[in-house]
Amino acid sequence: MKKIWNTTTKNWVCGILACMALMITINADLSSISAEAAQGGFFNVLAMTIKKLEYVLPVFTYRDGLLALLVLFFFQKTTIRQESGISPWSVRIPAGFTAFFLVFGYSFYYTNSWNLIIMDKLHLFLAAVMMVGYYALFVRIFHLVVDKLPILAAACGERPGKWSELVFERHAFWGPFLVILICWMPYILAKFPAASMPETLAEMRQFYWNDINNYYPPMHTILLSLVMQLGNAVHSYTLGFFLNLVLQLGMLLSAFAYGFTLMRRWQTPYKLRWAALAIICIVEFFPMESTVVEKDIPYAACVIFLVLLLYELVRQMHKGNGMNRVQMAGYVLACIGTAGFRNEGIYLVLVSGIAVTFYVMRTWWKEDRRKCGRVLLTVLLPILLVLFYQKGLLPACGVADNGPKEALSIPFQQTARYVRDYGYEISEEDAEIISRVLDYENLAEKYDPITSDPVKYTYHAETTEDLTAYFGLWFRQLLKHPGSAVEATMNNAYGWFYQEGYAQNYMMTSKIDGQDVRWEINQPAKLAGVRQVMERVAKWLSRVPVVNWFENAGIVSWFTILLTAFLIGAGRKRYLLPMAPVLTALMVCIAAPTFNYQMRYIMPIMFCVPFYAAMAVQALREKL
């Protein structure tokens, strides 16, 4: 009886805290709370405190009351199962991260700083209440998800229905491939021959004017332009642009279809297969972004292949098997594509290669060196080929190096914020050191908290000594005002973990004409109405609850962190290996020049999410 009473009390307390966190986030205008110190005696202090509380406790609407009742009902009617054999920390740690991101993200979203948290004691108290409330809420939500996985893993021998048999068993590759293609066909038709980004035009301009550098990945620049010329040789540049779309869609849909082929091999429950297929077909970001000719689509396809091949490698090694020749060739090609279609892809390949090397050496070096050698050769070969391509072939072909500025967004933003906030502390000698690398005179004005591009583009260091001196100064400033450096980085990257990060890409046109590259691409005027309708459909779908979760950068990051913690808590640490590319891609997002709703940076992770549940269930089915 006492235990039941304690559980009920705990549910009520957690529910009330979660309600407070949600109500404050939805209704309270914390940015309007006065930061002025109250002076003049007890009653003045009391009056100022009550004034601040006015902003925290606004008039709630009936919708707020309904939401509060639903939250309380949720806590009272849901229970946490502890018998699953999974460490509770696999839920608590992701819930803690989520609560932290929501509270700090709120402050950065409204003020580009953490001032709403540290402004005064009241703000600190409210931040603590919100963090505890969100923590309680997401512990319960994540527990419901994690506790469901062992039940799904135990389900085996399920008989497929008519459509499940047709799509997922008899045609495990071409079935999902064609279903996705049919569902995406309205977007393909609306955008015919394809939509484009400014980077697409810039890549083609580089090729046309014979001025290729590695700011854009040369592999994609050359492939894109050669296919354009092939299309023109047959009919027109419009056909060439459409052939580029066909090529990248073929790669991406093949990656998705390969995932469903593996799910057949894993005997994944059909409800999870249908859920994965529904996400890919219905979430508007998937077709909307995939029908834009850009480097990120083939890059994302290669990352999906890389993650799935690594997962299958771990699964086969656990059974005592190695990689067959097809898998070895696939791994090499996936790595080359990952590093070749996007410059940051080399980090995913290197981290994955190092992780595989350690895992294979630890598992097979003493038992079967022949198998170990084959896997190590497969892992090292693409790394050597990519390094030769970047450091040998490209310079030999006259491809100019764009310099290190793309990798220095974090320190540049930290320096710019330091100059803005503490410029009065900078000596003439230190200013001279910065000016040899960045535009010191205009740095404070150019600083944009959410993107490093304005600061990064002023980079002009000429020697290694200039950079060495700059990093020495940067490190001294970091030690002097570490809070400023942390704020600068969080301000630039918080959107990857905050729930406001929804996709806002509704590109429908090619935006390329003959004045730019002498390649004219025409979209049929008869399809203008279709483009208008599909744009409205995409915007409507992006507002549908649950559906739009899978195009939200923050929620996608939460899914990734939760799966990682789950694999550790379930004792399946070996499956962290296929998570290496995904986690590295998340780190690349943090170091990227901007969030600013540029979902293409996190797109490889987003496109892997449909397979997360199947990966977790398959890991649970295997013995420790």
pLDDT of residue 66: 77
Single out the residue of 312, 276, 107 nearest to residue 179, CA to CA: 276
End-to-end CA distance of the chain: 37
Q: Exposed/middle/buried for 541, CB within 10 Å: 0-12, 13-18, 19+?
A: middle
pLDDT of residue 39: 45
Question: Per residue in 231-240, pLDDT tens?
Answer: 988 888 889 9
Is the pLDDT confidence value at 371 over 50? yes
Single out the residue of 268, 56, 255 nearest to residue 149, CA to CA: 268
Single out the residue of 294, 279, 341, 186 nearest to residue 552, CA to CA: 279
Binning the chain into helix, strand and coil, the percentages to the nearest 5 are 75, 0, 25
Higher pLDDT residue, 588 or 125?
A: 588
Domain boundaries, the chain: 2-154, 162-401+503-621
The answer to which of 74-83, 104-113, 143-152, 452-461 has the lowest mean pLDDT is 74-83
In sequence order, the 6+-apart residues with CB closer than 8 A to the CB of 350 are 383
pLDDT of residue 238: 87
Question: Per residue in 469-500, pLDDT tens?
Answer: 999 999 999 999 999 999 999 988 888 888 87
Q: Exposed/middle/buried for 457, CB within 10 Å: 0-12, 13-18, 19+?
A: middle
pLDDT of residue 486: 93
Question: Per residue in 266-277, pLDDT tens?
Answer: 999 999 999 999
Q: What is the DSSP letter of 442?
A: G
Is the pLDDT confidence value at 5 over 60? no
Counting residues of the chain whose pLDDT is more than 90, the rounded percentage is 44
**Residue range 361-386: mean pLDDT, rounded:** 86
Please, what is the average pLDDT of the chain?
A: 85
CB 337, CB 223: distance < 8 Å: no
CB 86, CB 566: distance < 8 Å: yes
pLDDT of residue 58: 53
Is the pLDDT confidence value at 414 over 70? yes
pLDDT of residue 561: 95
DSSP, residue by residue, 145-186: HHHHHHHHHH--SPPP-HHHIIIIIITTTHHHHHHHHHHHHH
Question: Per residue in 515-537, pLDDT tens?
Answer: 455 567 778 888 888 888 888 88
Is the pLDDT confidence value at 336 over 70? yes
Which runs of E-coded beta strand occur in 55-155?
A: none
Question: Per residue in 423-437, pLDDT tens?
Answer: 899 999 999 999 999
